[in-house]
Chains A and B, each alone.
Chain A
Amino acid sequence: MAKYLYIVKTQIIKSLTYEFNVYGNILMQTIIMITSAYFWKALYRNQSVVGGVDEQSMLTYIIISSALSVLMFTNVERRIEQSVVKGTVATDMMKPVSLFGVYFAEDIGSIIALLFQNMLPILLIGGLLIKIPGMADIHDLPLFILSVILSFLINWLIAALFGMLAFTAVNIDALIQVKKHLLRLLSGSIIPIWFFPEGVANVLKALPFVYIYQLPLSIYIGRGDRAEQIAQMQIQFLWLIVLFALFFAIHHRVTRKVMVQGG
């Protein structure tokens, strides 16, 4: 455990090195958040409640979604791709630590740095310029935190599973893009799926993506009653188990036979 904590620590220090990245990221994310806020304000101009959600809740949704996106940072897929392309995966595998344990620890380290560099400023700026993103019902807080933890794990496992494709396909830039778009559009991070037609929404509810963003956000803005939320969290938990099983099954296979380019 201490080994991994050390990796987390070095990764935090690494992330803190580039100052410009931090300001650049905050600026860009602020612009995106503000344009989204105006976008929803413009849409709600002639309507008060659409899909069971009013304008104020939607603005909270946008701010918290921007903040959550910080937690959904993953570098594991690029990391695997790079180490396969450069051949460092061979030496990585010889080290007395688990390969994916290292990648997980690195991502955790980056996220801890990002919490202060990115999430806090975004919440502050959002609170000042758009509205204070208060929670609908404070008693939902434990439920919200639990579902965020599950979301984070689901998101990381999906990224790791995509990353494993690099062991056979080597160059997976395009596949990473596929995943990014799928996640962006199907997770409800930009547009909640309750605005989609019912058939499409039902299909999406069966996929793991909505449980990454939309479920915790719905709990935060208090959409739907508690029973409904808990039912959805059960599906979320089920997906986590399925992805875990997949992860272990595939992990075992791909790491037995590694093809390395260069190195």
Chain B
Amino acid sequence: MIKAFRELGHYLDVTLQVIKMAVMTIIEYPANIAGWMISNPLQFIMGFAIIKFVVESFGEVGGWNYGQLAFLYGLSVISHALSMIFFVQGWFMGYYVIEGEFDRYLTRPLGVLYQFFFTNINIFGITDLIPGILVFVYGCVKCAVHVTPLFVLQVIVTLIGATLIRGGIYIFLGSTSFHTRSATDFGQYTQEIMDKTTMYPISMYPESLQFILTYLIPIGWVSFYPVSSMLGIENNIYNGMLLPFVTLLVGIVMMCLAGGYFTLGLAKYESAGN
């Protein structure tokens, strides 16, 4: 027990050092900082503007009004930002496999997956967080949400679960590189698919697609189910106030499966020959 705690303490120590290093690295390229500061908020502000324009042209989207869509969008962007901070490296796993970069991690006495994600922690993800929080608060006001302890708990649990689901998906996609030996970066595509499926209610899609998004690729749990539970919007699959907790459960399961798949892939890793 004490040993486990000491180990955890060690990991926390390393994490702090690593974050310090990450901050130092980004200061190296000032133009880049400015770029991210503009790029990330811009993307989400425009994304949100588009939702507004769509609602203005077409009326409700899949039975959701403007305020409810803002709430959904905000929550989805916040979990996106958190997943960008901790798990974005999953997008680039292919390059690490091809270039033999895992050698470094394998020789150190720390978990490989831990090192892979945390030595490359992406501080810039914070720039995604700000527009997300703004839109979310705006959505809360528009929907006249009563902030109760239960609501706060539901939001926190949803965010943790949603971040884990997104992270799990990135790890899954990244780990395919161990088997295919190619450095494809599906980040852009993943992002685009995630945008369409987490920032709009999935009830607008046909039932076959809803089934896939609920059970096979659990993107529906990232935002749609927990938000419909929080706002009390009925859908024809799952309802009830417990849904945010299911999101957390799905997230943990997803992460465990992804970790297992990664470990399986790592066994096939044979570095880059030279």
Q: With both chains docked as a complex, state the minimum distance between the C-beta of B80 and any C-beta of chain A, in angstroms.
A: 14
Q: With both chains docked as a complex, state the minimum distance between the C-beta of A63 and any C-beta of chain B, in angstroms.
A: 16
Q: What string of 1s and 0s marks CB contacts (under 8 Å) between A163-201 and chain B?
A: 001001111111101101110011000110001110010
Which of the residues B54, B61, B181, B205 comes within 8 Å of A191, measured between beta carbons?
B54
Q: Which residues of B contact A6 (CB under 8 A)?
A: none
Number of interface residues of B (CB under 8 A): 43
Q: Which residues of B contact A197 (CB under 8 A)?
A: 53, 56
Check if B5 is an interface residue, CB within 8 A of chain A: no
Q: Which residues of B contact A31 (CB under 8 A)?
A: 189, 193
In the bound complex, do residue A29 and residue B53 qualify as a contact, i.e. CB atoms below 8 Å apart? no
Q: Which residues of A contact B39 (CB under 8 A)?
A: 174-175, 177-178, 181
Complex interface: stretch among A35-43, A101-109, A252-260: A35-43
Which of the residues A169, A170, A171, A195 comes within 8 Å of B57, measured between beta carbons?
A195
In the bound complex, do residue A28 and residue B193 qualify as a contact, i.e. CB atoms below 8 Å apart? yes
Given known A-B contacts A50-B57, A177-B39, A185-B46, A169 and B29 have beta carbons under 8 A apart: yes
Q: Which of B24-78 contact A (CB under 8 A)?
A: 28-29, 31-36, 38-40, 42-43, 46-47, 49-50, 53-54, 56-59, 61-62
Q: With both chains docked as a complex, state the minimum distance between the C-beta of A18 and any C-beta of chain B, in angstroms.
A: 5
Which of the residues A165, A178, A195 comes within 8 Å of B54, measured between beta carbons?
A195
CA distance A31 to B200 in the complex (A): 16
Q: Is the interface of B mostly helix, strand, loop or mixed?
A: helix
Q: With both chains docked as a complex, state the minimum distance between the C-beta of B44 and any C-beta of chain A, in angstroms.
A: 9
In the bound complex, do residue B193 and residue A185 qualify as a contact, i.e. CB atoms below 8 Å apart? no
Given known contacts A165-B31, A173-B35, what 9 new A-B pairs fall within 8 Å (CB)? A20-B182, A35-B209, A39-B205, A42-B205, A46-B58, A169-B29, A172-B35, A178-B39, A181-B39
- Which chain B residues have a beta carbon within 8 Å of chain A's beta carbons? 28-29, 31-36, 38-40, 42-43, 46-47, 49-50, 53-54, 56-59, 61-62, 124, 180-182, 184, 186, 188-190, 192-193, 196-197, 200, 204-206, 209
